[in-house]
A and B are shown apart, each in its own frame.
Chain A
Amino acid sequence: MANLDSVEKLLKLAALACASVSVAIIAWYLIRRPPLGRLTKVLLLLGLGVMPLGVALTGNIAGYEYTLKRPFCGSCHVMAPYIRDAEDPKSQSLAAIHSRNHRFGEQSCYTCHADYSMFGAVTTKMNGLKHLYYYVIEYANTGPDGEGGPPIHLYKPMKNTTCTQCHSTEAPRWLATEPHQGMLADIRSGEMSCLNCHGEENVHPLALHRRAKTAQSGAGARKEARP
């Protein structure tokens, strides 16, 4: 994780350096207004083409890396209860336990909520745009934890592959757990969801608390749940 952080910082620095060079060239051109000679043309090609391209490339990668992190997910206020719980060192919820795992690190939200397939990253980011749309139209000015907005829920049921990418159904310790043995085929086929036993208040308890507050205020009841 430390390596990834330093790569992200390097990319950001590179993007800012490219932006500085670009701005310096453009400012020089706009202030001095030199004739369009060969040198000016080459300098402007650097300032208007090469350097902004560098900013876009490095900035895109740095931005994408940042979108995988927990602080990014928590930058919308409706996510505050989820993040508070995930970052609570005493919490025993699945979200908090996984967030404390150094293999997940700051990417704990993304690791469990990203689509696990070939184009998973793309579909996840498309869903992220959908989140932003709903955030703007439904959750603006809805209280510090978004309790005035409709309840938050997943767009589609959580797939078992999200859990089994780490908790292999072949692992001896997993197989030795008695309830797993009785429903092995169902778990592997996805007919039995992991969340049937490990879900609800085990995952995001503070989120359920928020939902209860939403129901009490009645504000969420006016809107139907989204598919």
Chain B
Amino acid sequence: MKHLQVKRLTYLAAAATLGAVGLMVLSIVSPKPIFLVLAMSVGQGLGTLSLAAYLLAIALDLNISAALADQVEEEVGEMLDEKSHE
């Protein structure tokens, strides 16, 4: 479930970055006042939010990985204990 959340968040961040970069490129290719204002406000805001979303996804992924590693370690420990008892 959490893996799916991480994937979705990453796809969302990627799509938002495409929009942000598109706005910024538009202001470079066609530097009209309205495009410049849009690039410097909406474009950069969207870019910042998408980076934050990606970092959140990475943090969640690391959290999941750490939890999984703990779980595996615990299970292996239990199995080893059982074998030693036998």
Q: A residues within 8 Å of B by Cβ?
A: 12, 15-16, 19, 22-23, 26, 29-30, 36, 41, 44-45, 47-49, 51-53, 55-56, 59-60, 62-63, 66-67, 72, 75-76, 128-129, 131-132, 135
Q: How far is the CB of A209 from chain B (nearest CB, A)?
A: 24
Q: Closest 4 A-B residue pairs measured CB to CB?
A: A66-B31, A48-B54, A26-B14, A52-B47
The answer to whether A62 and B21 have CB atoms under 8 Å apart is no
**Interchain Cβ contacts within 8 Å, total number:** 87
The answer to whether B54 and A36 have CB atoms under 8 Å apart is no
The reply to whether the CB of B28 lies closer than 8 angstroms to some CB of chain A is yes
Q: Which B residues from 1 to 55 make CB contacts under 8 A with A? A: 6-7, 10-11, 13-15, 17-18, 20-21, 24-25, 27-28, 31-34, 36-37, 39-40, 43-44, 47, 50-51, 54
Known: A62-B28, A72-B31, A75-B33. A52 touches B61 (CB 8 A): no
Question: Which residues of B lie under 8 Å from residue A15 when comparing CB positions?
Answer: 24-25, 28
The answer to whether A48 and B14 have CB atoms under 8 Å apart is yes
The closest CB in chain A to the CB of B58 belongs to A41
Known: A44-B54, A49-B54. A132 touches B34 (CB 8 A): yes
The answer to whether A52 and B21 have CB atoms under 8 Å apart is yes
CA distance A189 to B34 in the complex (A): 39
The answer to whether A76 and B33 have CB atoms under 8 Å apart is yes
Question: Which residues of B lie under 8 Å from residue A16 when comparing CB positions?
Answer: 25, 28
Tell which of B10, B14, B24 has the most Cβ of chain A within 10 Å.
B24
Known: A16-B28, A76-B33. A22 touches B17 (CB 8 A): yes
Q: Which of B21, B27, B50, B61 interacts with A63 by CB under 8 Å?
A: B27
Tell which of A36, A55, A128 has the most Cβ of chain B within 10 Å.
A55
Identify 17 residue pairs between A and B in the complex whose beta-carbon atoms are under 8 Å apart, listed by A's number: A15-B24, A15-B25, A16-B28, A22-B17, A26-B17, A26-B18, A30-B15, A41-B58, A44-B10, A48-B13, A48-B51, A56-B44, A56-B47, A59-B24, A59-B25, A75-B33, A129-B37
> What secondary structure prevails in chain B residues at the interface with A?
helix
Q: How far is the CB of A68 from chain B (nearest CB, A)?
A: 11
Task: Identify 17 new A-B residue pairs, CB closer than 8 A, beyond the known A44-B10, A48-B14, A63-B28.
Answer: A22-B17, A26-B17, A29-B14, A30-B11, A41-B58, A48-B50, A49-B54, A52-B21, A52-B50, A56-B24, A59-B25, A59-B28, A62-B28, A63-B27, A67-B31, A67-B36, A132-B37
Known: A22-B17, A72-B31. A45 touches B25 (CB 8 A): no
Q: Which of B10, B27, B40 interacts with A36 by CB under 8 Å?
A: B10
